[in-house]
Structure 1
Amino acid sequence: FDLVLHRARMMQNQIEAMTGDLAAYATGLRARVRLMANTAATAELLREILPTFLVAHPGIDIELDERPSHEIAQAVASGAADLGIAATWAGLAHLEQKPFFIDRLVVIAARNRPGLEGRTVNLTELLGESFVGLSTGHALQEHIARQAARLGGHLHVRIRVPGLDNVCRLVAQGAGIAIVPESAARRSARSLRRLRLTDDWATRQLNLCARRFDDLTPQAKLLAAALA
């Protein structure tokens, strides 16, 4: 009986909390902003920008969704997202844009790994290598896989793990090579060797986008200002 009573109280507390949240949104005391970003942008956002914003604006909640750039462009255009951060190649011309940052993809390998000599490499040269990849569904991994398919090949991914830091950690221990944003490689520079990826698609301008920045809610405008 005590266990049943305890569960009933927990459910009541959850219902009261949800009711309170809904009331706060209805009265304008809280607001939620829907933000979509690709893998590289998400990693940058979570390092400092979003934590700082959330602390400074306790009444604003953010729904962050990681997606490939082409899906972000579609979502922002359709109104499924308030703001997006995507690569310009994804077709953002119909959206208003502001620069976010330049994302350069690099190849990383363990410092003591033989082969891959030199400072540059292209994807064609890597198709026979063993990779450490991001978990299925990650925007960056899908982007790289599409580029390999364009070349008529595929990546041999030995293991897929969540998060760029985990990818860098496994590569440093010799589990394989990987393609990651340069910013992620720099954070693990002591344990990794880095090669510039020369393919055109490996350097991407990432832009913040919206249907119209002037039409955003006040809360979304605050977030846009922090991101731009």
Structure 2
Amino acid sequence: MHFDLTDLRLFVHIAEMQNLTKGAHKACLSPAAASTRLKTLEHQLGSRLFYRDSRGVDLTQAGETLLRHARLILRQVEYVKSEFSANGADTAGHIRIYANTTAVTEFMPEVLGRFLAERPGVTVDLQERLTRDIVRSVVDGSTDLGIVSGPVPEQSLQALHFSTDRLVLVTPQGHPLSQRQKVVFTDVLDYQHISMHEGSTLHAFLLDLSAQHGHALTLRIQMRSFEAMCRMIEAGVGIGILPESAALRHEKTMKLAVIKIDEEWALRERSVLVRDMEALPGCARALVAELMASGSGGSDPAA
């Protein structure tokens, strides 16, 4: 069985766009040429890859299987190109990273700033994703690296611990909870909360946690950054749960109280996820090393 890389790229584009015409355009092919190539691929595999209707296309079960393998094959081709680039094994290439809210907003900008300044030939695509989507994307090869907090249920991945993520309660000064040395989650459920935006990892985690307690979290307002959350908290709009590094930084310039959360889930290990470290291109392995160094000794790289 022979696979044409052009056909695999076309297939992936169509699957991701859920539209043959848009997928063909992204692959720089005419819709007619794309349709012919797709039919040839289906004939070669002996399987139908898409269900087609007036709204677009949806993957069949065989299509889902091929998409998983096609992504891995194409990523590996890119890895080979990076390894043999003229600029050296770890100074050129492209890295895709899916990470949780804290990583994207708190410490990855600093880590990437140092890393990229030393490697002008490297480009990075950093995207915020929910933990379940990060894990799935590393498994199926949609992304090179994943950054998560907490346990990793997928045993097939390599999870490399590099720092500790602590969640704390933040209130305005003078709030009824502000004089407490520590709280548990049930202590905060009756208050209105300032939250990160819908779709953020922390937002989803807290909603799931409150549901486990049989209580709906009362959200007053949702913000796009931890700084914006802290400003709302300082203004007395509500209370919020944030990473300790962000809370302590903003406590220096705002009238806030930071209170320990006495729950096991509040202390979470940060890990970088990979399918196979040895299969990564040199630039991706170098970035993992940078992450590990930034959190050496169990310290928080955002602190």
Length-normalised TM-score, structure 1: 0.83
Alignment deviations for residues 71-130 of structure 1 (CA, whole Å, 9 cap, x no partner)? 211111111110111124231432112222110100000112234541111111211101
How much has 1:199 moved relative to structure 2? 2.1
2:91 is equivalent to residue 56 of structure 1: no
Task: After superposition, give the CA deviation of every residue in 1:176-204 in whole Å (9 maximum; x if it has no partner).
Answer: 10000000001012321011112221111
- Structure 1 stretch displaced more, 65-74 or 142-151: 65-74
Within the alignment, does 1:207 sit opposite 2:246 as a pair? no
Paired position in structure 1 for 2:198 = 136
Q: Which of 247, 254, 257 is matched with 1:193 structurally?
A: 257
Question: What is the CA–CA distance in structure 2 between the aligned matches of 1:96 and 1:115, rounded to whole Å?
Answer: 40
Distance 1:123 1:173 in 2: 22
Amino acid across the alignment from 1:197: I
| Contact preservation (8 Å) 1:70, 1:90 | no
Does 1:109 find its partner at 2:171? yes
Q: Contact 1:39–1:66 at 8 Å: present in 2 too?
A: yes
Q: Does 1:171 align with 2:233?
A: yes
C-alpha displacement of 1:47: 4.5
Q: CA deviation at 1:65?
A: 1.2
Partner of 2:66: none
Q: Deviations over 1:43-84 (max 9, x none)?
A: 333451111112111111111111222221111111111011
Between stretches 167-176 and 25-34, larger displacement belongs to 25-34
1:217 CA displacement: 1.1
CA shift, 1:152, in A, is 0.7
Aligned to 1:218: 282
41-50 or 128-137, larger mean C-alpha shift:
41-50
Larger Rg: 2
**Secondary structure at the counterpart of residue 72 of structure 1:** helix
CA distance in structure 1 between the aligned counterparts of 2:130 and 2:147, rounded to whole angstroms: 10
Percentage identity across paired residues of the two chains = 30
Runs of at least 5 residues in structure 1 that lack an aligned partner in the other structure: 1-24
Do the aligned residues in 2 keep the contact of 1:85 with 1:100 (CA within 8 Å)?
no
TM-score (norm 2): 0.63
Map residues 10-25 of structure 1 onto 2, 5 A cutoff: none
Higher alpha-carbon deviation: 146-155 or 189-198: 189-198
Match for residue 152 of structure 1?
214
Alignment-mate amino acid for residue 62 of structure 1: V
Q: Report which of the two has the higher share of strand.
A: 1
Q: Distance in 1 between matches of 2:112 and 2:199?
A: 22
Q: Superposition RMSD on alpha carbons, in Å?
A: 1.9
Structure 2: gaps spanning 5 or more residues: 1-77, 293-303
Find the partner of 2:148 among 82, 86, 99.
86
CA distance in 1, matches of 2:108, 2:230: 17
